[in-house]
Chain A
Amino acid sequence: MAYNSNSVNISVEAPIENQIQEITYDGQEIYQAPLTLSESLAKYAQKIDFSRALSEINVKKESGDNSDDSKSDGDSKDAFQSNLWPWDSIRNKLRNAYQEVCVLSDVLTIAKEKRYMVLDPVQQEPIETKPMVQIYARKKALTGAASVLLTGAERLKTSQNELLRNRSTPDFHIELLRLRQNWRLKKVSNSIIGDLSYRTAGSKYAQSGMFEVTKAEEEEKSSSPPSSPMPVPAPAKSNSSLRVTVPSELQGVAYIEVLCQKDQEDLCSANINLLNSAPTTANPDVHWQQKLEAAQNVLFCKELFNQLAKEAVQLQAPIPHMVVGNQIMATVLPGIQLVIGLCHSTSSEKKSSQLTPPPSKSDHDHVLEHSLHQLLREVHHKNTHHPFPHPSSAPLGPSKKRYLAGPMAADRYELLEMTQSETLLEQIIKQAQHFFMRMRTEYVLDTIAKEVKDPLISSHWNTLNSPTQSCVKINISTHGYDAVCRTPLVIHVGEKSLKCICRDGKVMHMSYEPQELRDLIFCHINQHQILAVQALAKTMGWQFLGNSNHLGLGAVEPLGNASSCLLASPIGDRLIAVRCEPQSGVQVSVVHSPRTDFFPSRLVTERKWEHLGGQFREVRLEKMEGRNFLHKMELLMASLTSNS
Chain B
Amino acid sequence: MAVIGSATDTLNTALKSNIVPDQEYLLQGSVLDQYVEVLLHRLRGLCDNVDSGPESFHDHELCFTLRATSGPGSAMVLPLRVRRALDVPEAPWQLRYVGQHELGDKNRPTVVRSSIDMACSSTIVEFLTELGCRMDFEYISRGYMFRKGRMKITVSKVFKMGGLTNKPGESVEPISQSYLVELSVLAPSGQDAIAEDMRVFAEQLKPLVHLEKIDYKRLAHLQ
Chain A residues within CB distance 8 Å of chain B: 384-386, 388, 390-397, 400, 403-407
Q: How far is the CA of A386 from the CA of B84 in the complex (A)?
A: 20
Task: State which residues 55-105 of B face A: CB under 8 Å.
Answer: 55, 57, 59, 61, 81, 83-85, 87-88, 91-94, 96
Q: Does B136 sit within 8 A of A, measured CB to CB?
A: no
Question: Can you spell out 13 A-B residue pairs with CB atoms less than 8 angstroms apart?
Answer: A384-B48, A384-B49, A385-B49, A386-B147, A388-B55, A388-B145, A391-B59, A391-B83, A391-B85, A392-B85, A392-B141, A396-B147, A397-B21
The residues of A that contact B96 with a CB separation of less than 8 Å are: 393
Q: How far is the CA of A405 from the CA of B121 in the complex (A)?
A: 11
Q: How far is the CA of A596 from the CA of B164 in the complex (A)?
A: 103
The residues of A that contact B84 with a CB separation of less than 8 Å are: 391
Write the chain B residue with the least CB distance to A394. B94
Q: In whole Å, how far is B177's beta carbon from the nearest beta carbon of chain A?
A: 21
Q: In whole Å, how far is A53's beta carbon from the nearest beta carbon of chain B?
A: 79
Q: Does B119 sit within 8 A of A, measured CB to CB?
A: yes
Q: How far is the CA of A151 from the CA of B105 in the complex (A)?
A: 69
Q: Interface segment, B36-44, B149-157, B165-173, B206-214?
A: B149-157
Q: Does B200 sit within 8 A of A, measured CB to CB?
A: no
The residues of A that contact B118 with a CB separation of less than 8 Å are: 406
The residues of A that contact B92 with a CB separation of less than 8 Å are: 403-404, 406-407
Assuming A384-B49, A403-B92, A404-B92, is B147 touching A394 (CB within 8 A)?
no
Q: Pick the contact of B120: A390, A392, A395, A406 (CB < 8 A).
A: A406
By the criterion CB–CB under 8 Å, are A394 and B119 in contact? yes
Q: Does B186 sit within 8 A of A, measured CB to CB?
A: yes
Write the chain A residue with the least CB distance to B123. A407
By the criterion CB–CB under 8 Å, are B49 and A390 in contact? no
The residues of B that contact A388 with a CB separation of less than 8 Å are: 55, 57, 145, 147
Q: How far is the CA of A395 from the CA of B145 in the complex (A)?
A: 12
Write the chain A residue with the least CB distance to B48. A384
User: Which of A390, A394, A397 has the largest count of B CB atoms less than 10 A from its CB?
Assistant: A390
> What 1/0 mask marks residues of chain B from 110 to 154 whose CB sits below 8 Å from any chain A CB?
000000011111000000000000000000010101010010101
Q: How far is the CA of A396 from the CA of B49 in the complex (A)?
A: 14
Q: In whole Å, how far is A492's beta carbon from the nearest beta carbon of chain B?
A: 32
Assuming A390-B87, A393-B96, A396-B147, is B57 touching A407 (CB within 8 A)?
no
The residues of B that contact A395 with a CB separation of less than 8 Å are: 21, 117, 186
Q: How far is the CA of A386 from the CA of B48 in the complex (A)?
A: 10
Q: A391-B85, A395-B186, A397-B21 are in contact. List 18 more A-B contacts (CB 8 A).
A: A385-B49, A388-B57, A390-B59, A390-B88, A391-B57, A391-B61, A391-B84, A392-B57, A392-B85, A392-B145, A392-B156, A394-B117, A394-B119, A396-B147, A396-B150, A396-B152, A396-B186, A404-B92
Q: How far is the CA of A590 from the CA of B39 in the complex (A)?
A: 93
By the criterion CB–CB under 8 Å, are A407 and B141 in contact? no
Assuming A396-B152, A406-B118, A407-B121, is B186 touching A390 (CB within 8 A)?
no
Q: How far is the CA of A396 from the CA of B94 in the complex (A)?
A: 13
By the criterion CB–CB under 8 Å, are B147 and A390 in contact? no
Write the chain A residue with the least CB distance to B83. A391
Q: Pick the contact of A393: B87, B94, B147 (CB < 8 A).
A: B94
Q: In whole Å, how far is B140's beta carbon from the nearest beta carbon of chain A?
A: 11
By the criterion CB–CB under 8 Å, are A390 and B57 in contact? yes
Write the chain A residue with the least CB distance to B51. A385
Write the chain B residue with the least CB distance to A381. B49
By the criterion CB–CB under 8 Å, are B147 and A391 in contact? no
Q: Pick the contact of A404: B81, B83, B87, B119 (CB < 8 A).
A: B119
Q: Which 7 A-B pairs have the closest CB atoms?
A: A390-B85, A390-B91, A390-B88, A392-B57, A391-B59, A388-B55, A391-B83
Write the chain B residue with the least CB distance to A400. B91
Q: How far is the CA of A388 from the CA of B92 in the complex (A)?
A: 13
Q: In whole Å, how far is B185's beta carbon from the nearest beta carbon of chain A?
A: 8
Q: In whole Å, how far is A419's beta carbon from the nearest beta carbon of chain B?
A: 15
The residues of B that contact A393 with a CB separation of less than 8 Å are: 59, 61, 81, 83, 94, 96, 117
The residues of B that contact A406 with a CB separation of less than 8 Å are: 92, 118-120
Q: How far is the CA of A305 from the CA of B61 in the complex (A)?
A: 48
Q: In whole Å, how far is B84's beta carbon from the nearest beta carbon of chain A?
A: 6
Q: In whole Å, how far is A382's beta carbon from the nearest beta carbon of chain B?
A: 11
Q: How far is the CA of A228 from the CA of B216 in the complex (A)?
A: 81
The residues of B that contact A396 with a CB separation of less than 8 Å are: 147, 150, 152, 186
The residues of B that contact A390 with a CB separation of less than 8 Å are: 57, 59, 85, 87-88, 91
Write the chain A residue with the least CB distance to B91. A390
Q: In whole Å, how far is A168's beta carbon from the nearest beta carbon of chain B?
A: 35
The residues of A that contact B88 with a CB separation of less than 8 Å are: 390
Q: In whole Å, how far is A537's beta carbon from the nearest beta carbon of chain B?
A: 60
The residues of A that contact B81 with a CB separation of less than 8 Å are: 393
Q: In whole Å, how far is A454's beta carbon from the nearest beta carbon of chain B?
A: 58
The residues of B that contact A405 with a CB separation of less than 8 Å are: 119
Write the chain A residue with the least CB distance to B154. A392
Q: How far is the CA of A364 from the CA of B190 in the complex (A)?
A: 51
The residues of A that contact B91 with a CB separation of less than 8 Å are: 390-391, 400
The residues of A that contact B156 with a CB separation of less than 8 Å are: 392
The residues of A that contact B55 with a CB separation of less than 8 Å are: 388
Write the chain B residue with the least CB distance to A404. B92
By the criterion CB–CB under 8 Å, are B85 and A407 in contact? no
Q: How far is the CA of A396 from the CA of B153 in the complex (A)?
A: 11
Write the chain A residue with the least CB distance to B186. A395
Q: How far is the CA of A397 from the CA of B59 in the complex (A)?
A: 19
Q: How far is the CA of A405 from the CA of B150 in the complex (A)?
A: 22
Q: How far is the CA of A385 from the CA of B147 in the complex (A)?
A: 10
Q: In whole Å, how far is B198's beta carbon from the nearest beta carbon of chain A?
A: 14
User: Which of A392, A396, A400 has the largest count of B CB atoms less than 10 A from its CB?
Assistant: A392
Write the chain B residue with the least CB distance to A392. B57
Assuming A392-B141, A394-B94, is B119 touching A407 (CB within 8 A)?
yes
Q: How far is the CA of A397 from the CA of B92 in the complex (A)?
A: 16
User: Which of B57, B61, B81 has the largest count of A CB atoms less than 10 A from its CB?
Assistant: B57
Q: In whole Å, how far is A173's beta carbon from the nearest beta carbon of chain B?
A: 23
Write the chain A residue with the least CB distance to B88. A390
The residues of B that contact A404 with a CB separation of less than 8 Å are: 92, 119
Q: How far is the CA of A324 from the CA of B186 in the complex (A)?
A: 43
Q: How far is the CA of A262 from the CA of B157 in the complex (A)?
A: 65
Write the chain A residue with the least CB distance to B143. A392
Q: In whole Å, how far is A394's beta carbon from the nearest beta carbon of chain B?
A: 5
Write the chain A residue with the least CB distance to B146. A388
By the criterion CB–CB under 8 Å, are A403 and B186 in contact? no
Write the chain A residue with the least CB distance to B122. A407
Write the chain A residue with the least CB distance to B87. A390
The residues of A that contact B154 with a CB separation of less than 8 Å are: 392
The residues of B that contact A400 with a CB separation of less than 8 Å are: 91
Q: How far is the CA of A94 from the CA of B141 in the complex (A)?
A: 102
Write the chain B residue with the least CB distance to A393. B83
Q: In whole Å, how far is A95's beta carbon from the nearest beta carbon of chain B?
A: 79
Q: In whole Å, how far is B134's beta carbon from the nearest beta carbon of chain A?
A: 21
Q: How far is the CA of A319 from the CA of B192 in the complex (A)?
A: 47
Q: In whole Å, how far is A101's beta carbon from the nearest beta carbon of chain B?
A: 84
The residues of B that contact A403 with a CB separation of less than 8 Å are: 92, 119
